[in-house]
Amino acid sequence: MPTVAEKKKILWVDDEIDSLKPHLLFLEKKGFEVTPAMSGDDAVVAVRDANFDLVLLDEMMPGKDGLTTLEEIKDIRPHLPVVMVTKSEEESLMEDAIGSKIDDYLVKPVNPSQILLVIKRLLESRKIISSSGMRRYVQEINRFNQRLYGPMEPEDWHEAARLIAEWDLELDNSNDEGLRETHTGTKREWNTEFTKYMVNQYQHWLFDDRRPLLSPDITGHYIIPRLKQKEKVLFIVVDCMRLDQWMLVEPLVAEFFNIQRDYYFSMLPSATPFARNALYAGMFPDEIDKIYPENYQNQDEGSLNRLEDRLFADNLARAGVRFDKPVRYVKVYNNTEGEELARRAADYFESPAVTFVFNFLDILAHGRSNNVILKEIAGTEAAFRTLMRSWFVHSPLFSILKTFAERDFTVVLTSDHGSVLCQRGTMAHGRRTTSTNLRYKYGDNLKSDPKDSLLVKKPEKWRLPMFSLATTYIIAKEDFYFVYPNNYNEMVRQFQNSFQHGGISLEEMVVPVAVMTPR
């Protein structure tokens, strides 16, 4: 029961307030302070002179009626919760009341339990939800923790990523700092175990046809079978899109599509030059290097994806998928290009296979590290998710999805990898020619702390290309990022709390695949 200092103040407005005395006493026994008012005018004066937490307002009163009183109360205190109490259940009256921003309504005769339930929902819901959320969180996490230290399977890690993403989204709307801190600890613990699992299992998958789905398997699993069945397919790759980000916007897309959400593991390094090439080619990077040696000849990381359209077309041809019309491929770097593509969407309706790459999220994640204002706006994972949703709602991508929802296309939407919020720097040692990425590096004879990173001495055993006879890779674990000893402080200042990709974490490696058919 609330203490005197914590008592919530309720204003009850009814021209027959004396007949409600038992109800008022009931609420007072429950710890609420109730002020009666017999008219709309009295209510307006009371709201102007004192602070209340909630108003119970009779709809039918002589003089100033409930709706008029409601408008005047909202003019004085726009955010004061108001519950309309009415004798009428007419739909038009309810629409008028709801349009006037009531927070709830009750139909007379009311009983004390009804009133208490509405009051608790409006005044104590946050506290109740927080308590309930903590119980559910503990139950779900403990249940999964019992499996975490046993023999985990790949689909168990898909579930782990889904659980983390669901709680990320739920806690975005919570003020419970304790629960958020607990969740942060859970993510770090699960990523530690995931990293151990990947270090032990991933290499074996590379040469096993029974492996879980990896980047090179996606077109063969989701795209090619549909094209062979003469389905039209729009294949969309949103670079650097995390599972939690997709889950945030999925309900918006569900208005237009029936959605089946699956998951796969991005290959390592979980970065565009390797994961997206593998995605389109249906091959591992070492195979790509053998068949298309020009792809990796230039070691500039920004140019290692210049053959994607050719890789995709050849992939389909090897699988026996051929068309009278060419496969359509478009890469979108900015909003202007995206808007132009959205305007020309009809140009692609006759093509049996279309693929679009949207680079906005990857650019945004990297730009955040170099832009002070952007880092302030998207300073946390929750803020970054909100920014992503805002972009998506107004994006050409959403417009294109809605346009294709009116056509006979199956849309397969995925990403090449996610990103992780980096919190810990670890030393990397290499030559000047070493690649610049913060979550993975390749170069000659690289070294780093084995507790914080994976050292790949023989790239061919990890299905990776070799750029020289001494090529090695280092891949960061969990939320570590690489810094150089001679520039340590400056790199930490710039890249601490930045979103990066290329390493081993649930956020980077568990990637959503949404198969969507128009409603």
The predicted-structure confidence for 145-190, as pLDDT tens digits, reads as follows 888 888 899 999 999 999 999 999 988 877 777 788 888 989 999 9
Q: Contacts for 487-496 with beta carbons within 8 Å, 24 or more apart? A: 488/425, 488/427, 491/425, 492/425, 494/369, 494/370, 495/369, 495/422, 495/425, 495/438, 496/422, 496/423, 496/425
* Each residue's pLDDT tens digit, 85-95: 887 655 455 55
Q: What percent of the chain has pLDDT over 70?
A: 93
What pLDDT, on the 0 to 100 scale, is given for residue 305?
72
Q: Which architecture characterizes domain 4-110 according to CATH?
A: 3-Layer(aba) Sandwich (3.40)
Query: Which pLDDT score is estimated for 178?
Result: 77
Residue 164 or 445, more confident: 164
What is the per-residue pLDDT for 93?
53
Averaged pLDDT for residues 117-134: 70
DSSP label at 105?
Answer: E
From the list 440, 424, 428, 426, the residue with the least C-alpha distance to 475 is: 440
pLDDT tens readout for residues 325-374: 888 999 998 889 999 999 999 999 989 999 999 988 888 777 777 777 77
pTM of the model: 0.78
Q: What is the CATH number of domain 215-418+508-518?
A: 3.40.720
Q: What is the pLDDT of residues 271-308, one digit of tens each?
A: 999 999 999 999 999 999 999 988 787 655 555 677 89
> So what's the pLDDT on residue 423?
92
Rounded to an integer, the average pLDDT of 131-147 is 78
For residue 357, what pLDDT is reported? 95
DSSP helix/strand/coil, 98: helix
In contact, 63 and 39? CB cutoff 8 Å? yes
- What integer pLDDT is reported at residue 481 of this predicted model? 94
Encoding tokens for residue 219?
Answer: 């077109």
What residue spans define the domains of the chain?
A: 4-110, 128-205, 215-418+508-518, 421-504
CA 213, distance to chain mean position in Å, is: 21
pLDDT at 128: 55
How many CB atoms within 10 Å of residue 360? Answer: 23
When the pLDDT of each residue in the chain is averaged and rounded to a whole number, the result is 88
Q: What is the mean pLDDT of residues 184-211?
A: 94
| pLDDT reported for residue 141 | 84
Give the percent of the chain with pLDDT over 90.
Answer: 59
Residues 6+ apart with CB under 8 A from 112: 22, 23, 26, 27
What is the rounded average pLDDT of the residues 433-445? 90
Check residue 376 and give its pLDDT: 77
Question: pLDDT tens digits, residue range 32-44?
Answer: 999 999 999 999 9
Q: Checking DSSP bridges between strand 353-358 and strand 232-238, what pairing results, if any?
A: parallel
Euclidean distance between CA atoms 305 and 273, whole angstroms: 6
Give the pLDDT confidence of 64-80 residue by residue, as tens digits: 988 899 989 988 988 88
Residue with tokens 């299905």: 463
**pLDDT of 133 over the 70 cut:** no
